[in-house]
A and B are shown apart, each in its own frame.
Chain A
Amino acid sequence: MSASRAAHIVVDLGFGDAGKGTLTDWLTRRHDARLVVRFNGGAQAGHNVVTEDGRHHTFSQFGAGTFVPGVWTHLARSTVFHPLALRVEARYLAERGVPEALSRVTVSERARVITPFHQAAGRLRELARGDARHGTCGVGVGETVRDALAHPGDTVLAGDLRDAGGLVRKARAAQERLRGELEEVLRVTGSLPDAAPERAMFEDSGVSARWVEAVGTIEPLHRVVADEWLGPRLRAGTTLFEGAQGVLLDEWRGFHPHTTWSTCTFEPALSLLREHGFDGEVHRLGVLRAHATRHGEGPFPTEDASLAPSLPEPHNGADGWQGGFRVGAFDAVLGRYALDVSGGVDALAVTHLDRLSSRWPVCDAYRAALGHEDSPLVREAPGSERITALRPSTSERDLDWQARLTRALARCVPERRTLELGEDPDVRVERFLGWVEAALGARVTVASRGPTAGDKQSRG
């Protein structure tokens, strides 16, 4: 137990996949944290951690500190909870030598719950979109959030998991409600083989009871806690707040419609800390890769498929629901936008520095002809074609503005620069990080050259 109380918030400043998992693992070990709080997103997260002895796990709902003995995970109110995926993940962890992981998880009673029907509905909608995919993970997070906004009284919350009878009723109601809403989608997807298992969820009246029975195996009475539970835990020592996805996918700040249904900035974590009257130190850490990546559909100005062969991606395949893994040059314009909308950071962590080569492509500005819908683009000078920043919307929640940003980005062509980093790997890292600090106006305090905790170095 560390005497000082502190909270470290780890947030991805890109489109996700920057390496929050390995940083969370490293920070947990380094600061002897006892608790990892997940505060956004849910079961669609995939945070890879590789231990020093070579065990690899993709953390989805378990906090990425779970490999460290005695470290707990709390899924906060703002997360979306998938009870059966948690159970599947616990089985995987058991195979990786962490048999008791499930007993170290708590979930807020107010977290929304993904039912089999929400997962199936999300997948069916994506299938019905055909080529106009949004890039869902197929987990049901979006569908659950959407449904909870539309039918707040009927939402399944983690607290409901404690009462099997009531839970069956709520699940059945969700099955009926979603089947009604999906009439058109079910018609369109009728002939698609991929849709068959998802459609079956709505055709079988026994699913709810079986689901509730299966949910009983995660022992909801031990897992589900009231929100007050968190306060004393935060005061007891160091806590890691592990963000999911990335600021550029944020529901209100990302590039609509290619966003996620959750707030990916520091805000949900900060508001939890405020709520519990936390008086310790708070460290906001923004994470970026040495290059840019994007999983699935959506804008990606610096995308450059020719970089892929030199940027191997061991844990992010192109399989599943999201579509391919895309790579491109480091994008300082998007980096500045992410810092802007997330209210700044105390420090940056840059990962994948082992990938740096002597001539490293980066992007510090875009070019775009003058045109209509220019308002979201910040030009270097009036009339200049050079775009140095994106303008955040003035209100917190303006999807129309975010859609305009998406369209404006489509007109932008990145100005490619190549940094001459030299031959010595250590010099390369320092030169590149110096450039990043200047381009983004923030300090880089963690440099990561690989997947394990030993590959991380803290920096001045």
Chain B
Amino acid sequence: MGYGSYSSQAHEALIQARGTLSRQVLFRQERCHPLMDPRGVNWRESRDSEVHPTSLGIIFALDVTGSMGDIPELLARRGLPSFMRALLDAGVTDSQVLFMAVGDANSDRAPLQVGQFESNERQMDQWLTSSFLEGGGGTPGHESYELAMYFAARHTDLDCFRKRDRRGYFFMTGDERPYPFVSHAQVAALMGDGLEKDLPVQQVVDELQRAFEPFFLIPDLARRRNCERYWRELLGDRVICLEEPGDCVDVTSSLVGLCEGAIADIDALARHLEREGRDRSRRGAVIRALTPFAATLGRDGTPRPRLEDEHLPIDDATSGHQRLAPRDGR
């Protein structure tokens, strides 16, 4: 007898509107929300406006199968406001965010759900929480990620890219592999597109990269095994391994900041996170997740010595190695 701990937790959420309402309550859809159905969508547009003259399109394609549903939940509970704030702090003022929910076309009722590009948190949140967390998933090892990439590649139109040649951002979370081909049958059924034949996923990635900086985020270290190698073959350094799903917001906003040049390098990012009040272990986790990619931008904070181009020695020329300090007395 004498145990109150479950009951203490049970009602905590009720006095903060959405602290820990359960996933089913937060994401109330029982089926794909009609407005999020990709069928017949010609374009999802990210447009400049008077208020947002330099729009930047950002897509979150969130795997909503099984345990991956944590990430939409984290975003809905706490993440969105802090994502937007982090972008503002990083000097990205006119971001527009579109949410997609990714499932498995071979078994889910709603394998792809697509919102609209929105500039304000409240509307974003509506799209996010309208997405239906099916929690199913299908073939072990695969989800229909290629459909999300296909939709972003062929059905979005970004002013930042069209007018200013700036690419938008495409963040996909997941812990499985995509199917190797975009199935023309699935595309016809889901979006009404007529493809002549299946598209290799590599081709879809190439198309996606025209207008987007794509990133694939694996939520924790344990789940890298399933899929990391495969995604690296597709996206190279743009596969980001988180240490826990909760870092998703910090990592994505920092990626935008680094790519946009708003955050100079990893050291600046560390200071930024400290100002944001992240504790040491979280700062470390975010920085470890981002360092490999930051290195490709030359923003990982390591000193870069000026290298002179020396030709390799031929015949009996000196090797090019030189002593740095002259010997004593010589």
Q: Which of A17, A197, A206, A210 contacts B1, CB < 8 Å?
A: A17
Most buried by B among A45, A60, A84, A204: A84
Inter-subunit contact B25/A88 (CB<8 Å):
no
Inter-subunit contact A87/B4 (CB<8 Å):
no
Taken residue by residue from 266 to 279, chain B's Cβ proximity to chain A (1 for < 8 Å, 0 otherwise) reads as: 00000000000000
Inter-subunit contact B11/A84 (CB<8 Å):
yes
A244 to B3, CA, bound (A): 11
B-facing residues in A26-66 (Cβ within 8 Å) = 41, 43-47, 58, 60-61
Inter-subunit contact A322/B2 (CB<8 Å):
yes
Contacts of B21 in A (CB 8 A): 210, 213-214
Inter-subunit contact B1/A43 (CB<8 Å):
no
Q: Which of A16, A119, A206 contacts B2, CB < 8 Å?
A: A16
Residue of B nearest to A45 (CB): B1
Contacts of A261 in B (CB 8 A): none
Inter-subunit contact A45/B3 (CB<8 Å):
yes
Residue of B nearest to A216 (CB): B25
Q: When A210-B21, A214-B21 are in contact, do A295 and B2 touch as well, CB less than 8 Å?
A: yes
Chain B proximity of A155: nearest CB distance (Å): 19
Most buried by A among B7, B13, B24: B7
A245 to B2, CA, bound (A): 8
Chain A proximity of B17: nearest CB distance (Å): 7
Taken residue by residue from 203 to 216, chain A's Cβ proximity to chain B (1 for < 8 Å, 0 otherwise) reads as: 01011001101101
A206 to B9, CA, bound (A): 18
A206 to B13, CA, bound (A): 12
A269 to B21, CA, bound (A): 35
A305 to B1, CA, bound (A): 21
Q: Confirm or deny: A200 has a beta carbon within 8 angstroms of a beta carbon on chain B.
A: yes
Q: When A17-B1, A210-B17, A295-B2 are in contact, do A87 and B11 touch as well, CB less than 8 Å?
A: no
Q: Confirm or deny: B126 has a beta carbon within 8 angstroms of a beta carbon on chain A.
A: no
Q: When A200-B15, A201-B15 are in contact, do A44 and B10 touch as well, CB less than 8 Å?
A: no
A249 to B15, CA, bound (A): 33
Size band of the interface chain A makes with B: 35 or more
Contacts of B9 in A (CB 8 A): 85, 88
Residue of B nearest to A90 (CB): B6
User: Among the listed stretches A133-141, A387-395, A419-427, A430-438, which one makes contact with chain B, having 4 or more residues with CB under 8 Å of it?
Assistant: A133-141
A43 to B3, CA, bound (A): 8
Q: Confirm or deny: A316 has a beta carbon within 8 angstroms of a beta carbon on chain B.
A: yes
Inter-subunit contact A217/B24 (CB<8 Å):
yes
Inter-subunit contact A295/B15 (CB<8 Å):
no
Chain B proximity of A400: nearest CB distance (Å): 25
Q: Confirm or deny: B14 has a beta carbon within 8 angstroms of a beta carbon on chain A.
A: yes
Inter-subunit contact B1/A246 (CB<8 Å):
yes
Contacts of B11 in A (CB 8 A): 84, 116, 119-120, 201, 211
Q: Which of A139, A207, A217 contacts B4, CB < 8 Å?
A: A139
Q: When A116-B11, A116-B14, A206-B17 are in contact, do A295 and B1 touch as well, CB less than 8 Å?
A: yes
Contacts of A46 in B (CB 8 A): 1-3
Q: Which residues of A contact B (CB under 8 A)?
A: 12, 15-17, 41, 43-47, 58, 60-61, 82, 84-89, 92, 114, 116, 119-120, 137-140, 197, 200-201, 204, 206-207, 210-211, 213-214, 216-217, 244-246, 249, 260, 295-296, 316, 320-322
Could you jot down 13 A-B contacts, CB within 8 Å? A45-B1, A58-B3, A60-B6, A85-B7, A88-B9, A119-B11, A137-B2, A201-B15, A213-B21, A216-B25, A320-B3, A321-B4, A322-B4
Give the 4 A-B CB pairs with smallest separation, nearest first: A46-B3, A16-B1, A84-B10, A245-B1
Q: Which residues of B contact A (CB under 8 A)?
A: 1-15, 17, 21-22, 24-25
